[in-house]
Chains A and B, each alone.
Chain A
């Protein structure tokens, strides 16, 4: 496939690995966090860690919107879906995300709730048009990548005078989360992780550009390289980060120039700013309440806000104490450090959100990495 296959070339990857080995200083560690779940998936799928020197460590960050959705928001969606007048439209990843006490939207559907998987917000609008006597709610979730399609849908609903349509808004923002990882007060409780640089989001940056990350690089002294999702993109980005660390630089660099420009997609940003505004705080699984970490509808669009329309009550649900998703999302622990991993928690029976989405750190490790653990286990 064009723009895919050529960025997966094995020979070039081996050459890049050699270049990285030639430039790392063996006397120091290089700890790079890939923020996006898509990058975590690439690291696991292509075995990139095996190609890196031992002192270059990839830390899996919180960047999967499904994984960071707290169980309370799933419970709220389940309560909503159980109302007989409601059709709840959701992206497929959300169906099996655990709420409290093992509940999920899939189980709610089995109990009679009208939950429908959609590929696009366009499908949700069509369902609302086809069911004028029902209340159609779109379970909106995602980072800056998925937010513009929600904004467009709300403006389309307005244009079409759809009165039976609303949105349960769970859109979250990446730069505040990155800041939260670096300076959260929770670090005292669950521990911190040393980070020498970030692999910056690819398709989030397609929308918002590279400028929103400049304050992280400047104020926290951390290099950031915005990177595509193919393995060669990531290998080049790791080399760029190694060079920044070696040269004591901390800048935002753009490896993904074929899709990302400094100012991002102006049209998409305008759509988002027309419809959404910042929430003061929004709860992220694993990060707690992130200041300005989420979005809500602007006053002009609150008639499409499902939380107001249905008087939805905010629910805060503690994660299962045995589940280590919180520490894994912060990069403090690895999937194998969780005692549930691979025993009661697998992609078929996920206990925590990191195991649900294919971009989650645990699911990626289950699919591609666990055999490597087995091979590396010392022989007694």
Chain B
């Protein structure tokens, strides 16, 4: 039940709603749990709600670390 997926925000709608794209598939979700969201941000969605923004800088750092650990 706690599985959630990353999606790109494509449109901000009124009433704390937004349209997101999941690999090209559009879906309307609630963004009531998130502040300061902009088109182009990636969010983690679960049961129709965005739970958090994905931090692109931290994602890049984790991937760099993974490559580093893997090459040791």
Which residues from chain B contact A260 at a C-beta distance below 8 Å?
52
Instruction: Assess whether B12 is interfacial by the CB under 8 Å rule.
Output: no
The answer to whether B59 and A258 have CB atoms under 8 Å apart is yes
Partner of A121, one of B47, B51, B66: B47
Chain A residues whose C-beta falls within 8 Å of the C-beta of B23 in the assembled complex: 1
| Chain A residues closer than 8 Å to B65, beta-carbon distance | 236
Query: Which A residues are CB-close (under 8 A) to B67?
Result: 12
Contact A3 B4 (CB under 8 A): no
Q: A122, B66: Cβ atoms under 8 Å? A: no
Judging by beta carbons under 8 Å apart, are B1 and A142 in contact?
Answer: yes
Contact segment of A143-151, A211-219, A244-252 = A143-151
- Residues in B with CB closer than 8 Å to A239 are 69
Distance in angstroms between the alpha carbons of A143 and B23 in the assembled complex: 27
Partner of A146, one of B47, B55, B63: B47
The residues in B between 20 and 72 inclusive whose CB is less than 8 angstroms from any CB of A are 22-23, 29-30, 32-35, 42, 44, 46-49, 51-52, 54-56, 58-59, 61-63, 65-67, 69-72
* Interface members, chain A 99-143 (any B CB < 8 Å): 119-123, 141-143
Cβ of A314 under 8 Å from chain B: no
Interface residues of A in 2-25 (CB under 8 A from B): 2-4, 6-7, 11-16, 18-19, 22
**Which of the candidate stretches A200-208, A275-283, A301-309 sits at the interface with the other chain?**
A200-208
Q: Are A37 and B72 in contact (CB under 8 A)?
A: no
Interface residues on B, range: 35 or more
Considering the chains assembled together, what is the distance between the CA atoms of A143 and B2 in angstroms?
8
B8 lies within 8 A of chain A by Cβ? yes
Q: Mark A41-79, 1 if CB is under 8 A from B, else 0.
A: 100000000000000000000011110000000000000
In the bound complex, residues from chain A placing their C-beta under 8 Å from that of B47 are 91, 119-121, 142, 146, 149
Look across to chain B and name the residue whose beta carbon is closest to the beta carbon of A207. B51
Contact A37 B1 (CB under 8 A): yes
Given contacts A37-B2, A66-B1, 16 further A-B contacts (CB under 8 A): A1-B5, A12-B66, A14-B70, A22-B72, A37-B1, A38-B3, A65-B2, A120-B47, A143-B1, A148-B51, A152-B30, A152-B33, A201-B2, A236-B66, A258-B58, A265-B33
Some 12 contacts from A to B, beta carbons below 8 A apart, are: A3-B6, A3-B59, A123-B48, A142-B2, A143-B2, A149-B30, A152-B32, A152-B33, A203-B46, A259-B52, A260-B52, A265-B33
Where the two chains meet, the residues of B that have a C-beta atom closer than 8 Å to any C-beta of A are: 1-6, 8, 22-23, 29-30, 32-35, 42, 44, 46-49, 51-52, 54-56, 58-59, 61-63, 65-67, 69-72
Smallest CB-CB A-B distances: 6 pairs: A15-B70, A120-B48, A258-B59, A3-B6, A257-B58, A258-B58
A contact residues vs B (CB 8 Å cutoff): 1-4, 6-7, 11-16, 18-19, 22, 36-38, 41, 63-66, 91, 93, 119-123, 141-143, 145-146, 148-149, 152, 201-204, 206-207, 229, 232-233, 236, 239, 255, 257-260, 265, 267-268, 271, 357, 359
